[in-house]
Amino acid sequence: MNRSQLLPFLERLKRGVVLADGAMGTLLHQGGAPFDACFDALNLTAPERVQAVHSAYIAAGAELIETNTFGANRFKLAQHNRAAEVAAINHAGVALARAAVGAQPVYVAGSVGPLGVRLAPYGRVSAEQAFEAFYEQIAALILGGVDLIILETFTDLAEIAEAVRAARAANPSVPVVASVTLTRDSTTVYGDPPREIARALAASGADVIGVNCSSGPSQLARVARVLRAAQPDLPLSVMPNAGYPETVNGRVMYPATPDYFGDYAVTLREIGVSLIGGCCGTTPDHIRAMRAALDAPARPPRLTISAAEPSAAPLDEPQEAPTRLAQKLALGKFVTTVEMAPPRSFNAQKVLAAAQMLQEAGVDCIDVSDSPMARMRMSPWAVCHLIQDRLGMETILHFPTRGRNILRVQGDLLAAHALNVRNIFVVMGDPTSIGDYPEANDKYDIVPSGLIKLIKHNLNSGQDQAGNSIGQPTAFTVGCALNLTPQDIDAEIKTLRKKIESGADFAMTQSVYEPHKVEQFLKRYEELHGALTLPILVGILPLYGARHAAFLNNEVPGINIPEPIMARISAAGDVAPAVGVQIAAELLRDLRGMVQGAYLIPPFGKYEMAAEIVESLALPA
């Protein structure tokens, strides 16, 4: 078979998988082109190097090669003072590809990437200006003689729609492949999930839809299942990077091996992908391994991708993994958290230093309070984000309903999720009358049990309170407040039942000094409803001295310190803080079989006391 006998591209896709080539830029860079060079201009300045890359992929078994024109549009070329050479560079790119193909039965695809500028409303380039730039490039590629157009590595669905429109205007009979790249969260940079991507690409009029680049074969195979289910009648294209890149000794390295790509070629074929190739980091060796795997006798794919049952999760999969806190609680591991207050200024260095000290002591999570005692402090979301980003330590965000209307509640939760803060402790919050700004808004639209239900039943299902789609489900783990030593046990249990029915994942309690009362609470709950299965993180506030203990015992509702403990801390004198740590550790030992974790509340910011408690118990991290 020679090139004159090639089937029309879309007809060929109906007969089986078409294997495309791999990265162009990777090989040109390996050949000496610096990263900041204009790779597209090499079509004019170093044509032999470009043609050699094409020939290497054809020799490896590629049935389709892409022109070296990914960035050959007026905007990107202007960065290299070559905006006037759009037609020349694209014509040369097609000529080099066709020369490498010769009479061989290999398709030549015109590669078109994004413009490198933002479109309105996120930038200053209008849709019409984008259309004109795409039309200029695509018309040159078609005039040069390409068999199809591949639009690849797009991040903006509106921009790729303009590119498809330009291709149709240039020549409606030339097939168009429309492919986007994804973040590590499997969405576009603007947050569009896979199902919306599939819908938008299909609506644009593309003949083939797909994904490329991104984090590697595993991620794109999962996404491919979603695209296949969302648009079963359209051919699908997948061209992944060779894994997620790393910089080693100044060089960008891609970890995925050719054999790994060979296995995934079979997996992608089983999913129903029609056009398979490689993107950044892939080489002729990767394509050669894929060719061998696809040509080998039929066998089940060695790398399988789990798929949800049709009735289970929405098509906006893949969902995020549970938080580490949720995973530990599910495994029954004892969890330790320490409460920290945000700073009064914008400088969080002391908080970060304290959090690092607690992390080294073996603490699992830092739970960050929100304006404790209704006093002005830095946003707790920022503190949570800084701790997670700088230390890699998970946090729990205190989220009071007081002072927020329902719009702000939902907006604030989405903001927290965007910062990867996904453990939420829902509380009512301290009244503003006791704080620095007694006249500040103290109203609320939703009570804690209602907020827990909103998070678990709405946001975690991909909808806001009004039933509108938020594009993708959130993945919050939600805690509720609990008093284990109330005056009216039955009333507290009734409130707890509402929170459990609303979807609470765990409870954090007020400070406890009487373990026998906790046992009474749990026994009464079991009498009424069976054993309590909700994980409990028991509040432990170490006593700092006699005056501190007297204040808690007399002025803080819900706290009752037994006389033996009061006498012990009063007799401690100057070593009262050390005795307070001993008492706290003893309380935890007594409670260990009744609760699933400790919620330590250091007095006066004495975080070293919490560290000493954890270390004295030798609790696992």
Closest CA to 266 of 235, 306, 295: 295
Question: Residues 131-146: pLDDT tens digits?
Answer: 999 999 999 999 999 9
Q: What percent of the chain has pLDDT over 70?
A: 90
Nearby residues of 114 by Cβ (< 8 Å), 6 or more positions away: 153, 154, 155, 156, 159, 160
Question: Residues 47-104: pLDDT tens digits?
Answer: 999 999 999 999 999 999 999 999 999 999 999 999 999 999 999 999 999 999 999 9
Helix count and strand count (H, E) for the chain: 23, 18
Q: pLDDT at residue 602 above 80?
A: yes
Question: Residues 268-282: pLDDT tens digits?
Answer: 999 999 999 999 999
Question: Residues 608-620: pLDDT tens digits?
Answer: 999 999 998 864 4
Stretch 335-356: mean pLDDT, rounded? 89
Provide the token pair at 426. Answer: 């829902």
Q: How many residues can be counted in the chain?
A: 621
Encoded amino acid at 242, one letter: A
- In the chain, the N- to C-terminal Cα span, in Å, equals 64
Question: Residues 220-231: pLDDT tens digits?
Answer: 999 999 999 999
Question: Residues 422-448: pLDDT tens digits?
Answer: 999 998 754 434 334 344 344 556 888
All structural domains of the chain, each given as residue ranges with its CATH number in brackets, are: 3-295 (3.20.20.330), 334-617 (3.20.20.220)
pLDDT of residue 95: 98
pLDDT of residue 143: 97
The CA distance from 331 to 72, in Å, is 53
Q: Counting beta carbons within 10 angstroms of the beta carbon of residue 459, is it exposed (0 to 12), middle (13 to 18) or buried (19 or more)?
A: buried
Q: Give, as one character, the DSSP assignment of residue 111.
A: E
Question: Residues 541-593: pLDDT tens digits?
Answer: 999 999 999 999 888 878 899 999 999 999 999 999 999 999 999 999 999 99
- Sheet arrangement for strand 208-213: 18-19, 275-276, 236-240, 208-213, 176-180, 148-154, 107-112, 64-66
Nearby residues of 386 by Cβ (< 8 Å), 6 or more positions away: 348, 351, 352
pLDDT of residue 306: 45
Provide the token pair at 310. Answer: 């049709």
The CA distance from 86 to 78, in Å, is 10
The CA distance from 150 to 164, in Å, is 10
CA angle at 555 for the pair 549 and 558, rounded to the nearest 5°: 90
Q: What percent of the chain has pLDDT over 90?
A: 71
pLDDT of residue 435: 38
Q: Which helix (H) or strand (E) holds 480?
A: strand 477-482
Q: Tally Cβ neighbours within 10 Å of residue 203.
A: 12
Q: pLDDT at residue 125 above 60?
A: yes
Name the least confident of 159-163, 170-174, 349-353: 349-353
The CA distance from 554 to 561, in Å, is 9
The CA distance from 302 to 267, in Å, is 7
The CA distance from 374 to 389, in Å, is 27
How far CA 246 is from CA of 215, 241, 315, in Å, comes to 11, 12, 31
- Which pTM does this prediction carry? 0.61
Q: pLDDT at residue 28 above 60?
A: yes
Q: Are 189 and 155 spatial neighbours (Cβ–Cβ below 8 Å)?
A: yes
The CA distance from 150 to 127, in Å, is 20
What residues pair up with 396 in beta bridges, in sequence order? 367
Q: Counting beta carbons within 10 angstroms of the beta carbon of residue 343, is it exposed (0 to 12), middle (13 to 18) or buried (19 or more)?
A: middle
How far CA 19 is from CA of 142, 154, 226, 238, in Å, comes to 22, 21, 21, 10
Provide the sign of the torsion angle of the four alpha carbons 79, 82, 87, 88, taken in this order. negative
The CA distance from 353 to 387, in Å, is 10
Q: How confident is the model at residue 386 (pLDDT cuts 50, 70, 90)?
A: very high
Closest CA to 264 of 277, 280, 283: 277
How far CA 89 is from CA of 24, 50, 92, 153, 210, in Å, comes to 15, 12, 5, 20, 26
Q: Are 137 and 86 spatial neighbours (Cβ–Cβ below 8 Å)?
A: yes
pLDDT of residue 447: 80
Question: Residues 177-229: pLDDT tens digits?
Answer: 999 999 887 888 887 889 999 999 999 999 999 999 988 898 999 999 999 99
Q: Which of 8-17, 33-42, 237-246 has the highest mean pLDDT?
A: 8-17
pLDDT of residue 286: 95
The CA distance from 307 to 615, in Å, is 43
